[in-house]
């Protein structure tokens, strides 16, 4: 943005009604996906699907990263609530097998995997992104060229790092350097500049 355009945008967001902006839907442990929510899906990389309204941004981001010598690999995108339930149950079982009680396993799982119906992946607006040379979903992804590229550029395509390292007390999800959420180019620019998580940004818009 030019400074003039940016100032106009910041003035506009102060009066914005976020309820009218589909890209700012808040889904977290306290806000489930609305029961009447529906999404029109479009295929992107490797048979992954996203909300059709963000597909062009996803494809452009992947193409431009590759032009810079960085390979972005989508490993998770839209999920049905039923699929989220399967993943959640699997993780709980793994923790129990490792010696945790059911309650401990449930609590531990919930810090890294949203409850079914409370996951951004159910909206079609979230992506888990890795790179061919590092496909493990852990904090060490931040040491890859792919993460460095995303950290510098993802907001230009409307995406934010949804669960930052220093915001877990707000998001209630542990640091996930691989999880990106579409909020729109203008919103993402402000969120990135101010170092906010989505919950904080929505509070500022109120």
Burial of 98 (0-12, 13-18, 19+ CB in 10 A): exposed
Task: Specify the pLDDT at position 115.
Answer: 87
d(CA 41, CA 199): 25
Task: Specify the pLDDT at position 110.
Answer: 87
The model's pTM: 0.85
DSSP string, 69-104: T---EEEE----HHHHHHHHHHHHHHHHHTT--HHH
**Residue 42 annotated in active site:** no
Per-10-residue mean pLDDT of the chain, 206 residues long, equals 32 42 94 93 97 98 98 96 92 95 92 89 97 97 98 98 96 96 97 98 94
Task: Specify the pLDDT at position 114.
Answer: 85
CA distances from 128 to 36, 72, 145, 202 (A): 25, 10, 16, 22
d(CA 131, CA 14): 37
d(CA 28, CA 202): 13
Catalytic position from the list 42, 120, 176, 186: 176
């Amino acid at each position: 943005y030019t400074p003039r355009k940016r100032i106009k945008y910041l003035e506009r967001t102060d009066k914005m009604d976020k309820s009218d902006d589909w890209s700012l839907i808040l889904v977290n442990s306290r806000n489930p996906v609305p029961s009447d929510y529906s999404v029109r899906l479009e295929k992107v990389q490797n048979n992954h699907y996203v909300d059709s309204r963000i597909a062009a941004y996803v494809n452009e981001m992947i193409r431009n990263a590759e032009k810079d010598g960085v390979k972005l690999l989508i490993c998770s995108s839209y999920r049905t609530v039923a699929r989220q339930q399967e993943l959640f149950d699997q993780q709980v079982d793994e923790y129990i097998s490792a010696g945790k009680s059911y309650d401990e396993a449930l609590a531990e799982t919930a810090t890294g995997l949203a409850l079914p119906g409370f996951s951004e992946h159910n909206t079609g607006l979230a992506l888990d992104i890795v790179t061919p040379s590092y496909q493990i979903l852990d904090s060490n992804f931040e040491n890859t060229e792919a993460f460095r590229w995303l950290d510098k550029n993802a907001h230009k395509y409307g995406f934010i790092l949804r669960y930052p390292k220093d915001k877990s007390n707000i998001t209630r999800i542990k640091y996930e350097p691989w999880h990106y959420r579409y909020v729109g180019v203008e919103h993402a620019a402000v969120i990135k500049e101010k170092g906010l998580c989505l919950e904080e940004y929505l509070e500022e818009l109120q």
